[in-house]
Amino acid sequence: MAKLWSFGCSHTAGYELGNDKDYIAWFNRYGNKRKEEWYTHINKCTTPDLAWAGRLADKLNLEHISKARNGNGIDRCMLAVTEESNNIDWDNDVVVLGCPPPGRWMGLTNDDMNVILGDIPDDIMYGMVEGEKKVSYWMEYLPKIDTQEMFHVGVVTLIKTKYPKIKLIKLYDNSYMYEDASIYENDIGLWDIALRDNISHPKYPGGHFIEEVHEKLAIELIKTGVGQ
């Protein structure tokens, strides 16, 4: 049986999915202000087959093999594809990569998890002097967002060059410097669908899109010919 291999971050891995009976009650009680407590409440549930890639595999009648991981950056995605490249039947399998945002990279001391710019605590990011923030080493020496976007686009382009049969999937409503948008299979991502269809509460408390949005993205990808 042919397979659908999926690579990407938490939006491809299916983080939070499978908790649709709980999340509205949680929102009504807490809004989105208690993300970490919500993650504990759902035992950090990840359900790949309910994410867009899993739904796509089901519609194409393919076995789904998910190699997506929460927090992945584009560099770790390329590493994962490279590690699995000899196991993939490039003539018969479908390979999709849900592109994560920039601002993520593999650190020198942690091979298991990407550094995520938005998750760096303020006291580390800025430093604290007598209760006032000061510019710290992080702020002085981190690459500018322009540089991070160039890095991101460069790795995306490298992936497509090295693995031309991979299908790059746009998940976010963004465009990056020097990016060739034609490299993606789709024009509409998860957030675009939520806005287009006016979906009420389109995200779980942790910020990941609900099953309805993933299902609709899978349908959009079928329309574009992914897997054909």
Radius of gyration of the chain (CA): 18
Which residues, in sequence order, are CB contacts of 216 under 8 Å at separation 6+? 193, 197
- Is-contact 30 189, C-beta < 8 A? no
- The strand pair at 94-98 and 63-66 is best described as unpaired
Residue 217 domain-assigned (yes or no):
yes
Element (H, E) at 129: strand 128-129
Provide the CATH number for the domain around residue 213.
3.40.50.1110
Residue 68 domain-assigned (yes or no):
yes
**For residue 121, pLDDT beyond 90:** no
Residue 205 domain-assigned (yes or no):
yes
pLDDT band at residue 122 using 50, 70 and 90 as cut-offs: low
pLDDT at 210: 94
pLDDT at 143: 80
pLDDT band at residue 134 using 50, 70 and 90 as cut-offs: low
Residue 194's domain spans which residues?
3-106+151-224
Domain count, the chain: 1
pLDDT at 58: 97
Residue 120 domain-assigned (yes or no):
no
Report pTM.
0.89
| Alpha-carbon separation of residue 136 from 75, 105, 108, 133 (angstroms) | 26, 19, 19, 9
Residue 14 domain-assigned (yes or no):
yes
**For residue 174, pLDDT beyond 80:** no
- Is-contact 127 135, C-beta < 8 A? yes
Higher pLDDT pick, 51 / 121 = 51
Residue 178 domain-assigned (yes or no):
yes
Structure tokens belonging to residue 208: 């990941």
> What does the pLDDT look like over 98-110, one tens digit per residue?
999 888 878 776 6
> What does the pLDDT look like over 56-92, one tens digit per residue?
999 999 999 999 999 899 999 999 999 999 999 999 9
Residue 146 domain-assigned (yes or no):
no
Distance CA 47, CA 54 (A): 9
Neighbouring C-beta atoms of residue 125, cutoff 10 Å? 17
> What does the pLDDT look like over 10-49, one tens digit per residue?
999 999 999 877 777 877 777 666 778 888 888 888 999 9
Residue 54 domain-assigned (yes or no):
yes
